[in-house]
A = this chain, B = another copy of it.
Amino acid sequence: METKNDFQKEPQNNSQTEPKLSRRQLLKMAGVGGAGLLLGGAGVGSLFATGAVGAASSTATAQPAADILPFYGKYQQGIVTPQQDFFHFAAFDIIAKKRSDVRALFEKWTDAAARITQGQPVGDESNNQHLPPTDTGEAIGLTASKLTITFGVGPTLFTKDGADRFGLASKRPAPLADLPAFSADELQAEWCGGDIGVQVCANDPQVAFHAIRNLARIARGSAVIRWSQAGFQRTERAAAKPGTARNLMGFKDGTGNPDVNDDAAMNDVVWVQPSEGPAWMTNGSYMIVRRIRMRIEEWDRSTLQDQEATFGRARISGAPLGGTDEFEKLDLDKKDASGKPLIPVDSHVALAHGDGKVRILRRSYSYTNGIDAKTGQLDTGLFFVCFNRDPRKQFVPMQQRLAKNDRLNEYIVHVGSAVFACLPGASAGGFLGQELF
C-alpha cells in the first residue's frame, strides 16, 4: 500500500473534491491569502492530494479545516489561542551583523511560518536530485495540527554588552528589560536569554519539531539556536472529559487564568495598546518563559496535607481550600474554627493572586529531559510561559512575591529564564517585525 498524500507529486486531477487547480496555483493562493482562501471544509488537504484513484485517496484529502489556524491577522497566534497539546520553544542568537540581514531572516521566517501553519511544506520542492530537499520532510502526510508559531525579540537584540548592534537601541520598549534577579532563582546560563524567542505549539509533537527545525535551517548563517525545550500536556484525546490539565505534581494548573475569549480582559492583561508604544509593539505582548524544575522525588514524599497547603487548593477537585468547586472565587479571608486562614497566606495560589488586581495569561507545559547527570534525579518540571502587557507591572511583582515566600519553593527551582517582546501579527504580503526593522 503506497501512501497517496505526498506533496511532492503533481496533482493530476483534484476533481474528487475541488475544481481543477494546479498545485502551484493552490500554494500561491494559500500563501497570499491564508486559510481563508482554502476552499472551506476540504482545507489544505488538497495540497497533499495526488488525485490518485481509489477510496484511500479521498480519505487523504479529508484534512479537517478545524486543524488549521489562520496565520495572518492583527495578533500573532499562540497567545490567546486555546492551548494545544504540544510545545517546542527555541531561543535563537543572531550571528548576522547587519540589520538588513535580520530583516531578511524575519521575511523568510514569516513566509515559512505562513506556509507550514497551513499544513504546507516550507517551500516549493524542486525535486532536483542535486539539491537538498526544500522541506525536511518529517511532516509529510501530517495535518496542520493547529500549529502556531509565535515570534518575539529579546532585550539583547537591541543592546548587547553595551553595543547598539543593529541601530535598534532607541526602539527598545521600556517593558522589555532583563528580569530582575528573584530571590529563589538558581538560573543556569544554558537555559537563559536569547536574541529571539520562538514558541511553537501544535497538537502533534512531530509537527512542532518540524517547525523549529525548519526555522533553524532557514536561519543558517543568520541565527543559531541558543537553547530549546520541548513540552507537553495531557493530550485532549486522553482527557476523559474537558477541563484544566494537571501538572506533574498532580494538581490542576491554569484554573485562575483570565478567559481568552474575553476581549476586554485580553486588552487589559495581554495586548499592548496603541497608547503605550512603541508603535511597532501595538497588538503585541510580552512573553516570559521560565524553566522550572520540580523536585518531584521530594514532592512525592510530602503528605497530602502539605501538598494541598502548598498550592492552597484541593488536589483532586482543584477547588480553593475550604471550597468545593475548582472555579469558585478565591476567598483569602475565610478562616477555620481556630481563626487560621483556610488558604495559607504563603500558599502558591494566595501569593500568585495577591490583591487580585494584577493578572497574567499563563500558557505553560510540562517537560521531561531524562535524568540530570549531576544529581541523578529526574530533570522534569514545568516550562512556564506567560503573556502580559507590561512585565514590570504584572509578572515581575507577582514573581517577586512568589520567590520570597511561596511554600512551593521547597519543591521547585527556577533554572531557566527569558523575556521577549512578541510582535504584533503580520498582514498577508507583509512580514513579522516589518515596523521594527
Contacts and interface: CB of A to CB of B under 8 A. Distances in A.
Contacts of A317: 2-3, 6
A246 to B, nearest CB: 5
A76 B55 CA distance: 36
A252 to B, nearest CB: 8
A309 to B, nearest CB: 10
Contact of A56 (B227, B241, B304): B241
A204 B234 contact: yes
Given A304-B132, A373-B190, A378 B138 contact: no
A307 interface: yes
Given A251-B137, A304-B133, A206 B238 contact: yes
Nearest to A202: B238
A366 interface: yes
Given A56-B241, A240-B143, A206 B228 contact: no
Interface string A215-254: 0110000001111111011110111110110111111000
A124 to B, nearest CB: 14
Copies of this protein in the assembly total 2
Contact of A240 (B8, B45, B133, B247): B45
Interface in A345-400: 366, 368-371, 373, 376, 378, 380
A370 B206 contact: no
Interface residues of A, number: 95
Tell me the interface secondary structure of chain A in the complex: loop
Given A3-B241, A229-B370, A326-B3, A129 B315 contact: no
Contact of A141 (B206, B207, B240): B240
A29 to B, nearest CB: 19
A128 B304 contact: yes
A425 interface: no
A129 to B, nearest CB: 4
Interface in A44-101: 45, 48, 56, 59-60, 62-63, 88
B207 A1 contact: no
A83 to B, nearest CB: 14
Given A8-B316, A234-B206, A239 B141 contact: yes
A203 interface: yes
A427 to B, nearest CB: 29
Contact of A228 (B234, B244, B247, B370): B370
Contacts of A206: 232-235, 238, 246, 248, 366
A131 B308 CA distance: 12
A8 B317 CA distance: 10
Interface stretch (A32-40, A161-169, A295-303): A295-303
A434 interface: no
A193 interface: no
Interface string A136-147: 111111110100
A401 interface: no
Contacts of A140: 246, 250, 316
Given A132-B303, A240-B63, A325 B142 contact: no
Contacts of A225: 371, 376, 378
Contact of A142 (B59, B213, B234, B318): B234
B251 A378 contact: no
A271 interface: no
Contacts of A63: 240
Given A206-B234, A238-B204, A327 B1 contact: yes
Contacts of A128: 304
Contact of A300 (B6, B132, B145): B132
A76 B127 CA distance: 45
A130 interface: yes
Interface in A97-154: 127-133, 135-143, 145
8 closest residue pairs by CB, A with B: A137-B250, A204-B238, A129-B305, A3-B243, A206-B234, A6-B316, A60-B241, A205-B232
6 contacts: A136-B296, A137-B246, A139-B234, A206-B248, A209-B368, A225-B371
